[in-house]
Structure 1
Amino acid sequence: MPYEQLPISTPVPVLSWAGHELGSQEMQMAKNVAALPFVHKHIALMPDVHLGKGALVGSVIATKEAIVPAAVGVDIGCGMCAVKTPYRAEQLDSKLKQIRSDIERMIPVGFNENSNVDKEVSNWQGWRSFKDLHSGVQRLESKAMKQMGSLGGGNHFIECCVDAEENVWLMLHSGSRNIGNMLAQRHIETAKDLAKLAGSKLPDPDLAHFVQGTPEFEAYWHDLQWAQNYALFNRAVMMNRFKQVVERHVAGGKPFKPSIQVNCHHNYAEREIHFGEEVYVTRKGAVRAQQEDYGIIPGSMGAKSFIVKGKGNAQSYCSCSHGAGRLMSRNKAKLNFTLDDLIQQTQGVECRKDEGILDEIPGAYKPIEQVMANQSDLVEVVATLKQVLCVKG
């Protein structure tokens, strides 16, 4: 689907792949970001766009010589990891309940952490520069080490999926855990304090920013990259454990080499070249989709998910959506749906079926098929997956 330019008067245009009119609050949030003087060319809104903090979730913001930490968000480096296995769907028959039990035993979820730090984690190179992170997180090194290889809560998940050819895929969604959250909060506070001191008249306090060349910018950029690397490795550690569980149940422990392997962020910022200029690209709930880039676009826990390849669409800053996007808030989902609804909407999926995950019910999300149809000019589908097992955070 081609994008449409929103009918608003702002210093730079807002291009939308949403395929529907935005609500008044969403429109205001788009206007606020487009009014910032350092935004490059235009704002790009992905098909799963919805309300966020400061900036819309599902927005791609390219900036010149400045960055907005709240636009990146507090789950720095949140993203997806997936591998294609050599296994067939029938090899999972009667094993899913035990696989789920073993995953839950091997990978801590929610606020939990590992009781011990294994060698794979302690050998991570990032620990060498922990002392250079913000002073406000220095007491958290032990916690960060124990949380490496843990899932977290909310919409984070681990899934066994089957594609249209009955191949088994392993997929998970997680970020930089408590350490990323704490780093983000410290820097967002600093940005807001600077804005107050400067008397800046921002359309939203959450759009406080750092200017390139200042110590505050350099400190944030350093910590941001560290947290993004933490998130990437956190997913790799969990995937290794997940893979071992499945190998044990399906192949007697014999390891396999994935034929496709993807590990991508969807809450992050990087330096990139767009329209001939180096800019800072913030993808707040969006995946990089340069030509031939692999990406992962999950649906809800009862819907399809997609492995995709990017088409390198310049107008989207080579980006695509990061999922289905929420139709309703977590509180609204709890008010509108019952446990019976959850059981019905997750039929055929080995997963928790209790009120603790009612806010993650499929009905709280946009239809993923429509989201995919709206970005046919951004990505091509490599594989369509349906989960048969889901572990929620």
Structure 2
Amino acid sequence: MAKLKLRGNTLIDIGFPQTNAITYALETVKKHYKRETNDRVLALLKEVLADPQQFMGDGIFGKTAEALLTAKKTEARRLNPTRAPFVIYGENGIEPLAKEQLYTALKLPVSKAGALMPDGHAGYGLPIGGVLATENAVIPYGVGVDIGCRMCLTVYDINPSYLEGHKDKYVGILQEHTKFGMSEAHKNPADHEIFERAAFREIPLLKTLKNKAYLQLGSSGGGNHFVEFGIVDVPANDPVFGLPAGKYVGVLSHSGSRGLGANIAKHYTALAMKQTPLPKEARHLAWLDLDTHDGQEYWIAMNLAGDYASACHHDIHRRIAKALSARPLKVVENHHNFAWKEIINGEELIVHRKGATPAQKDVLGIIPGSMTAPGYIVKGLGNAESINSASHGAGRLMSRSQAKQNITMSEVKKVLKDHGVTLLGAGLDEAPMAYKDINKVMAQQSELVDVVGSFTPKIVRMDRG
């Protein structure tokens, strides 16, 4: 059987310039044509060399073609000496490291504006709760590893007293129809139109991830991801929310794009670090230029992961609705790990929200508290200073390791009992005491959102932890 053996000198001999086009070409053919003969592969590379424009955007040779046309030299990027404009909400309650991470991001040559929400805490690249607007550049770690992580709330016309009176039924529904972590999956995965997307056929990385994504559809990740039954309280009729005042049963879920998003983030972050090398303190903020092949490919992959995350939630809620034999009155959902093209001060920019909720004028969203604290259904006020954003939750008061060291299971059980919450799964790192006071966080962003309802958890299902 043929086995490919090519070196850079061979490509130079057929006319390749001594640029990164050779590196990309060799990486590509070794990955996709390793069992072809040298002659066959050289014939293909000669086609690319003769007319690289014809291969721009191609899933296999696109990067090689781009390198042949641009012949850019990769150089280390310097940070700007000054920060882009920014605002911090609830600054006194945010740890110094999170603020330092924002300050570093604001010095990127592509940064135009930033903000930090009151639930902010340290992360990789952008802090959690960080918002950053950039010019024609997307930062994979500015989006986050769990691309498209989101909230989804379904409201039912069911008397909330049933959650206590028929608790076993609701516990059973969560145990049977929700799956968490790496080891659980539905026996009968659902088909979904998302798997017919061209990106799953045309982008090599996505081809390798499609089967796993199919098996994980309708499941939730570990950590702080959950599916809950709880009480939705609508204090007054609101024309945007559109539900009459009253109390209802709700299902609230929090999860993202599973292995699909994590692998996309890992792959394109590595590419970004090669293409825009930055000083040590900023290395996780490497970006992809949206005019490049990799930038465009990441943008397509990111949007696919966001839609897949939404599809996961819809499948979860569909299964629960079927088990309840009930039709939803209202569904509200929002991403909080994503990047969008938005007009900021008359200019189209890329707005990264890493753990931040979109809060444009009258846009609905959900900001959860903890497993014992209420979450809030909100509508955005379109505050330009916050780049039309709000917090994505209460935010962590303790890191995961701190929570495990300082909180006992007996303390957690007492808090759960005091709040009438039944917990299925979860570790000490998700204890209610590990989170900030959601009511203080909401008070610190009263100029960003209006509250139109609340969700109080009663039966909570999480990964085993």
Calculate the TM-score normalised by the size of structure 2. 0.76
SS at match of 1:271: strand
The answer for the alignment partner of 1:12 in structure 2 is: 84
Task: Write out per-residue CA displacement over residues 155-211 of structure 1, whole angstroms, 9 at most, x where no aligned residue.
Answer: 000111113443211111010011111111100111112234xxx446321011111
Quick check: 2:154–2:328 contact (8 Å CA) kept in 1?
no
Please tell me whether Structure 1 or Structure 2 has the larger radius of gyration of its CA atoms.
2
Question: How far apart, in 1, do the equivalents of 2:311 and 2:295 lie?
Answer: 24
Decide whether the 8 Å contact of 2:94 with 2:118 is kept in 1: no
Structure 1 position 159 matched with structure 2 position 228: yes
Aligned twin of 1:115: 187
Counterpart in the other structure of 1:6: none
Is 1:149 the counterpart of 2:218? The answer is yes
Pair 1:290–1:27, CA change in 2 (3 A)? closer
Question: Aligned partners of 2:159 and 2:91: how far apart in 1?
Answer: 37
Conserved 8 A contact 2:131-2:354: yes
Which residue number in structure 1 is paired with residue 273 of structure 2?
192
Corresponding residue to 2:439 among 324, 347, 369: 369
SS at match of 1:390: strand
Runs (4+) off by over 4 Å: 125-128
Cα deviation, residue 19, structure 1: 4.1
5 Å matches for 1:35-184?
35-40=107-112, 42-111=113-182, 112-118=184-190, 121-124=191-194, 126-133=196-203, 135-164=204-233, 165-184=246-265
Structure with the bigger RCO (C-alpha within 8 Å, sep 6+) is: 1
Match of 1:288 among 342, 355, 358: 358
Matched letter for residue 95 of structure 1: H
CA distance in 2, matches of 1:179, 1:125: 12
Deviations 1:285-307 (A, max 9, x none): 01111111110000010111100
Counterpart residue identity of residue 167, structure 1: Y
Q: Is the 8 A contact 2:119 2:394 kept in 1?
A: yes
Alignment partners' CA distance in 2, 1:192 and 1:52: 17
Q: After alignment, is 121-130 or 234-243 more displaced? A: 121-130
Work out whether 1:352 is the aligned partner of 2:438: no
Question: Taking every aligned residue pair, what percent have the same amino acid on both sides?
Answer: 35
Contact 2:83 2:103 in 1 (8 A): no
Instruction: Give the secondary-structure state (helix, strand or coil) at the position aligned to 1:315.
Output: coil
Aligned counterpart, 2:391: 321
C-alpha contact (below 8 Å) 1:170/1:243 kept by paired residues? no
Q: Where does structure 2 lack aligned partners over 5 or more consecutive residues?
A: 1-80, 234-245
SS in structure 2 at match of 1:389? strand
Distance 1:287 1:321 in 2: 6
Asked if residue 210 in structure 1 is aligned to residue 288 in structure 2, the reply is yes
The answer as to whether partners of 2:369 and 2:394 remain within 8 angstroms in 1 is yes
Aligned counterpart, 1:237? 315
Question: Hey, what's the Cα distance between the residues in 2 that align with 1:140 and 1:66?
Answer: 25
- Deviation at 1:244? 2.2
Secondary structure in 1 aligned to 2:267?
A: helix
Deviations 1:185-243 (A, max 9, x none): 100111112234xxx44632101111121111111111111111111111111111122
Q: CA deviation at 1:127?
A: 4.3
Number of equivalenced pairs: 368
Between the aligned partners of 2:321 and 2:280, the Cα distance in structure 1 is 47
Residues 1:390 and 2:430 aligned together: no
2:98 aligned partner, one-letter code: E
Cα contact 1:49–1:56 (8 A) shared by 2: yes
CA shift, 1:22, in A, is 4.0
How many angstroms apart in 2 are the aligned matches of 1:63 and 1:107?
38
Query: Quick check: 2:200–2:206 contact (8 Å CA) kept in 1?
Result: no
User: Take 2:370 and 2:320, find their aligned partners in 1: how far apart are those partners?
Assistant: 20
For the 8 Å contact 2:125–2:285, the answer to whether it is kept is yes
State the partner residue of 1:304: 374
Residues 335-359 of structure 1: per-residue CA shift (max 9 Å, x gap): 0000111101222112136xx5111
In structure 1, distance between residues paired with 2:121 and 2:298: 26
Equivalent of residue 342 in structure 2, options 272, 281, 295: 272
Note the alpha carbon deviations across 1:44-83, whole angstroms, 9 max, x for none. Answer: 1111011010111001111111111111111000010002
Contact conserved, 2:199 with 2:206, CA < 8 A, in 1? no
How far residue 92 of structure 1 moved from its aligned partner, in angstroms, is: 2.5
